[in-house]
């Protein structure tokens, strides 16, 4: 009987244990289902609540109430965290910690591929996509891919037209927070970033970094087509249009296209007649800033472009290039009718009038027409006008060239020398007459005049 009782006790204990296990398992299962249901409901609630939290102060939209509460601190000033270096205030302690790295220079996150260091984890992650080439986030509207979800979100606003960030000063709206911050510097005038080399100040850190390359000479952006390097990404993009032939900016008046917006703006002044740049010395107005700068050298006498062959200086770079063809012998402009080549485009145009018979210059006194402006000037001698005066003796001349030749009588300059005997002359015509004495060629009575200009 005792044995039977013992066995019965063991059996009841075992059965009770099994029953408890089943009960516990059932309880766990029910609770898990309940929790899962609650979690799902919470997620659905969050999803339904997404994008429905508006800031009453600036109308910025937030997906979660918790994000809105943090944002509201900006307006209320409640429990803000202040930077001891610049007194800038933040809504979270984490944001303050990240910001302080601007002052300390701390960059705790390093790239395992290239060793580059970053102050923020998000910046490191974004950087690492350079090495992996991974762009896992694609736009459902246009298919464009992005390395980060935030970049995709910003891009999608180009399709939706959404501009969630507004300026409290003027009401202007922006699709990116960074664009709003840049804009706000217009109102505040704040320029907190200083160049240690020249002291120039900037409103944006990126602008300072770009400026610093002027001093360092750094050119981190290279063209994949020709290898040319640039200090600014924007300059590289403009350059790459040369290879692609891309000219996205078109003139609405003549449909001429340009690769740069500022080139289009300059071109449009041809149609509008606008001349916004004026000379403070003489009041002459110009449509282009570069044209004004060239003009001002007439007043200053500045000649910044010098020839490496003879040392002669010029006020314009284009004038130097034309001059250098004297030394190189280059004649890049050729006549399609007879093949004659010229060093200057203007010389070619004058020459082509021989073939076309065009005579665009006419004398207002007698009506005679000429193919060259210089020929008209020579013809106009019958007016008796002598606008060029010698500052040494007061003698007047009808042509500038004659005045320059006359000046040599005062200076004693004789720039034309004979290659056969070394004799020097004040004019090229006098040298030509003299050279006939070596060649045996008959000369006119002007030889006597030429001798008067010789040594």
List the structure tokens of 298.
């007439």
Distance of CA 107 to the CA centre of its chain: 30
Distance of CA 312 to the CA centre of its chain: 33
Q: Bridge-partner residues for 82, per DSSP?
A: 89
The answer to whether the 65-188 and 388-451 domains have the same CATH topology is: yes
CATH of domain 65-188: 3.30.160.60
**Radius of gyration (C-alpha) of the chain in whole angstroms:** 41
Residue 79, pLDDT score: 60
Residue 264 near residue 275, CB atoms below 8 Å: no
Residue 448, pLDDT score: 42
The residue behind tokens 């004297």 is: 326
pLDDT tens, N- to C-terminus, the chain (455 residues): 444 544 554 445 455 555 556 555 655 565 556 555 555 555 555 544 445 678 877 767 777 787 777 777 777 766 678 888 887 888 788 888 888 888 888 999 999 988 889 888 888 887 888 788 888 889 999 999 888 888 888 899 889 989 988 888 888 898 888 888 888 887 888 888 889 888 888 888 888 888 999 899 899 999 999 999 999 888 999 899 889 888 888 999 888 999 888 889 889 988 998 999 989 888 899 988 888 988 998 888 898 889 998 888 888 888 899 889 888 989 999 999 999 999 888 889 989 999 999 999 888 778 888 888 888 877 776 667 777 888 888 888 877 778 888 888 888 888 888 888 988 888 888 888 888 888 877 655 444 444 444 44
Burial 384-421 (b: 16+ CB within 10 A, else e): eeeebeeeeeeeebbbeeebebbbeeeeeebebeeeee
The residue behind tokens 């509008």 is: 272
- Rounded-to-integer distance, Cα 452 and Cα 430, Å: 9
List the structure tokens of 163.
């501009």
- Rounded-to-integer distance, Cα 63 and Cα 84, Å: 32
Residue 336, pLDDT score: 93
The matching CATH number, chosen from 3.40.50.800, 3.30.160.60, 1.10.287.110, 3.30.470.20, for 388-451 is 3.30.160.60
- Rounded-to-integer distance, Cα 106 and Cα 119, Å: 6
Residue 259, phi then psi, degrees to nearest 5: -85, -15
Q: What is the pTM of this model?
A: 0.37
Residue 355, phi then psi, degrees to nearest 5: -80, -40
Give the start-to-end residue ranges of the domains of the chain.
Answer: 65-188, 388-451
């Amino acid at each position: 009987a005792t044995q039977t009782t013992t066995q019965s006790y063991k059996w009841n204990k075992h059965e009770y244990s099994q029953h408890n296990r089943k009960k516990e398992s059932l309880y766990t299962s029910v609770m898990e289902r309940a929790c899962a249901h609650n979690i799902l409901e919470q997620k659905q609630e969050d999803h339904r609540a997404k994008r429905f939290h508006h800031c009453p102060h600036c109308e910025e939209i937030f997906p979660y109430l918790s994000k809105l509460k943090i944002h509201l601190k900006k307006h209320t000033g409640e429990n803000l965290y202040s930077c001891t270096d610049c007194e800038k205030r933040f809504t979270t302690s984490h944001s303050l910690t990240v910001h302080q790295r601007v002052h300390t220079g701390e960059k705790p996150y390093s790239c395992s591929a290239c060793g580059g260091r970053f102050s923020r984890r998000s910046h490191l992650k974004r950087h690492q996509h350079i090495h992996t080439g991974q762009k896992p986030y694609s736009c459902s509207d246009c298919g464009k891919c992005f390395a980060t979800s935030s970049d995709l979100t910003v891009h999608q606003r180009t399709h939706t037209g959404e501009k969630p960030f507004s300026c409290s000063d003027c009401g202007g709206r922006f699709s990116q927070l960074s664009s709003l911050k840049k804009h706000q510097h217009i109102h505040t005038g704040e320029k907190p970033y200083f160049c240690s080399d020249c002291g120039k100040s900037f409103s944006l850190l990126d602008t300072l970094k770009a400026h610093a390359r002027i001093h360092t000479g750094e050119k981190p952006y290279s063209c994949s087509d020709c290898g040319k390097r640039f200090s600014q990404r924007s300059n590289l993009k403009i350059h790459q249009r040369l290879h692609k032939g891309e000219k996205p900016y078109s003139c609405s008046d003549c449909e001429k296209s340009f690769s740069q917006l500022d080139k289009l703006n300059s071109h449009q002044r041809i149609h509008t007649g606008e001349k916004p740049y004026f000379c403070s010395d003489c009041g002459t107005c110009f449509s282009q800033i570069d044209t004004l700068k060239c003009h001002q050298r007439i007043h200053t006498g500045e000649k910044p472009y010098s020839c490496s062959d003879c040392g002669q200086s010029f006020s314009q770079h284009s004038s130097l290039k034309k001059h250098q063809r004297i030394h190189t012998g280059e004649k890049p402009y050729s006549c399609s009718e007879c093949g004659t080549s010229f060093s200057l485009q203007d010389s070619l145009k004058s020459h082509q009038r021989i073939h076309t018979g065009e005579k665009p210059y006419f004398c207002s006194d007698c009506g005679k027409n000429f193919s060259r402006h210089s020929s008209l000037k020579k013809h106009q001698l019958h007016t008796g006008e002598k606008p060029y005066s010698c500052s040494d003796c007061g003698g007047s001349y009808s042509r500038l060239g004659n005045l320059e030749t006359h000046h040599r009588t005062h200076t004693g300059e004789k720039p034309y020398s004979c290659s056969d005997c070394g004799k020097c002359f004040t004019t090229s015509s006098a040298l030509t007459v003299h050279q006939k004495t070596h060649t045996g060629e008959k000369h006119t009575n002007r030889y006597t005049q030429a001798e008067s200009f010789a040594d």
